[in-house]
């Protein structure tokens, strides 16, 4: 059994307008024990944690944007973040728990803000010791295929460095990768996460979840170092590209949505871990003067055979109105207003209209020019005849355009 889990699950939602405000008093009135913080966050004025029937922290709620409704932040009065607590991530099915909570209180799901998938193990599938692998990697024996920004943490034990963690990417990266000694981390924090130790026990990583010991094949008791490879996916993630044929140079791709149901079972979690490891935890044996992709691969995990790997995709960079376009529009309008020649005025109008249509298509890329024309004409007719039905106007304008009687 693979000890693969979700270690962080946070979503961006909007509160139901009928139930708003879903504040601390709202949940108290519905039987929840609410631990409310006296201060909020940099983004939200309110923050509180809901406890389940056993008194265990279950859901962290951050709401009431400090900036109010703002085009700059993209938030409005109903914006809210929900984060499953760490202990809740290891209890039952965390994704289903999040979905049930969203449905129960009529939140409008917007997107996954952050999700971390982790895999705990004592040795790599290849038999490599993680500590030795880290030392060899930092010594230049291996080279990583993707994510060149790296940071390492460890201790100088005089005889040699004891590397405890290596991370790739940054806090701004869409996907960041980390390998670290989870046993040492738990010891350093005073064993404050017994639910993780219990997960290790269930998956055979330890025989004694209290003392974190295990018996080897000879029956001797020892204390294994459990290592963790963890991938953290941030809100820039838009979807997953399924690579349908990795054997051909021009392989086909198809996209699926980055949604919660991709992570709602242990089997799916292991599939997603493999997808991420295939792209973000790949190494090659370094050879001087040879490109990375031509060096011999360093196999660490055994992936399921006969499967198509998926690669996470980023949100496209927002195609914001360029400042130069705004300056051009201002100058064209000024130039038009300063000239009486109808040809000059018409030429300026054509250019300005084209810039406006480009702006609309930038904001709503699936809208065609014909649809924009229909909307523009319908708005004009509605303003001239406010008593007329909107759908009636749209139908009339559409027919006129089809007959080439306008525009």
- The vertex-3 CA angle with 127 and 50, nearest 5°, equals 150
Residue 317 CB partners (closer than 8 Å, separation 6+): none
The fold of the 3-115 domain, in CATH, is: Double Stranded RNA Binding Domain (3.30.160)
Count CA atoms closer than 13 A to 60's CA, side-chain side: 18
Domain residue limits, the chain: 3-115, 118-314, 323-402
Cα torsion 170, 174, 176, 182 to 10°: value is 120
Whether the predicted pLDDT of 173 surpasses 80: yes
Treating both helix axes as pointing N-terminal to C-terminal, what angle do 390-402 and 369-384 enclose, rounded to 10 degrees?
130
Whether the predicted pLDDT of 69 surpasses 50: yes
Alpha carbons 367 and 317: distance in angstroms, whole number: 19
Residue 45 CB partners (closer than 8 Å, separation 6+): 64, 65, 66
| Percent of the chain at pLDDT exceeding 90 | 46
Confidence tier at 248 by pLDDT (50, 70, 90)? low
Alpha carbons 32 and 49: distance in angstroms, whole number: 10
81-112 confidence digits (pLDDT tens): 999 999 999 999 999 999 999 999 999 999 99
12-23 confidence digits (pLDDT tens): 999 999 999 999
Whether the predicted pLDDT of 389 surpasses 80: no
Tell how far CA 360 is from the center of its chain: 27
One DSSP character per residue, 308-339 reads --EEEEEPPPP-PPPHHHHHHHHHHHHHHHT-
Question: What's the pTM?
Answer: 0.74
Beta strands in 202-306 (DSSP E): 214-215, 221-222, 227-233, 237-243, 253-257, 283-285, 297-298
Tally Cβ neighbours within 10 Å of residue 260: 19
Across the range 145-157, mean pLDDT stands at 84
pLDDT at 384: 62
Alpha carbons 315 and 199: distance in angstroms, whole number: 34
175-197 confidence digits (pLDDT tens): 999 999 999 999 888 877 999 99
CA of 115: how far to CAs of 6, 40, 205, in Å?
Answer: 7, 22, 24
Nearest residue to 258 (alpha-carbon basis) of 307, 309, 313: 313
Length of the chain equals 407
């Amino acid at each position: 059994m693979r000890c693969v889990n979700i270690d962080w699950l946070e979503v961006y939602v909007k509160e139901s307008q009928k139930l708003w405000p879903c504040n601390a008093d709202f949940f108290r009135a519905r039987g929840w024990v609410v631990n409310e913080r006296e201060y909020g966050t940099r983004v939200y004025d309110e923050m509180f944690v809901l406890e389940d029937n056993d008194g265990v922290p279950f859901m962290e709620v951050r709401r009431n944007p400090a900036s109010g409704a703002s085009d700059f932040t993209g938030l409005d009065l109903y914006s809210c973040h929900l984060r499953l607590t760490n202990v809740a991530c290891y209890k039952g099915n965390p994704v289903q728990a999040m979905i049930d909570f969203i449905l129960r209180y009529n939140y409008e799901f917007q997107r996954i803000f952050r999700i971390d998938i982790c895999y705990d193990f004592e040795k790599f599938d290849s038999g490599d010791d993680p500590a030795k692998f880290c030392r060899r990697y930092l010594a230049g024996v291996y080279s990583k295929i993707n994510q060149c920004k790296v940071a390492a943490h460890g201790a100088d034990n005089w005889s040699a460095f004891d590397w405890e963690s290596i991370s790739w990417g940054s806090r701004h990266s869409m996907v960041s990768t980390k390998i670290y000694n989870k046993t040492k981390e738990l010891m350093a924090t005073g064993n404050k996460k017994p639910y993780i130790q219990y997960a290790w026990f269930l998956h055979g990583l330890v025989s004694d979840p209290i003392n974190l010991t295990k018996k080897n094949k000879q029956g001797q008791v020892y204390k294994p170092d459990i290592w963790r490879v963890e991938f953290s996916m941030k809100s820039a993630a838009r979807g997953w590209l399924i690579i349908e044929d990795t054997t051909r140079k021009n392989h086909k791709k198809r996209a699926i949505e980055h949604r919660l149901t991709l992570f709602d079972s242990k089997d799916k979690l292991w599939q997603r871990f493999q997808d991420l490891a295939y792209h973000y935890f790949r190494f090659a044996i370094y050879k001087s003067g040879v490109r990375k992709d031509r060096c011999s691969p360093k196999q660490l995990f055994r992936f399921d055979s006969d499967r198509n790997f998926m690669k996470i995709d980023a949100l496209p960079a927002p195609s914001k109105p360029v400042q130069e376009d705004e300056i051009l529009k201002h100058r064209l309008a000024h130039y038009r207003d300063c000239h009486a020649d109808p040809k000059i005025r018409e030429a300026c109008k054509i250019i300005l209209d084209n810039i406006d249509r480009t702006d609309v298509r930038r904001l709503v890329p699936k809208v065609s020019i014909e649809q924009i024309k229909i909307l523009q004409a319908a708005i004009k007719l509605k303003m001239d005849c406010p008593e007329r039905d909107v759908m009636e106007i749209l139908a009339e304008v559409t027919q006129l355009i089809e007959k080439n009687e306008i525009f």
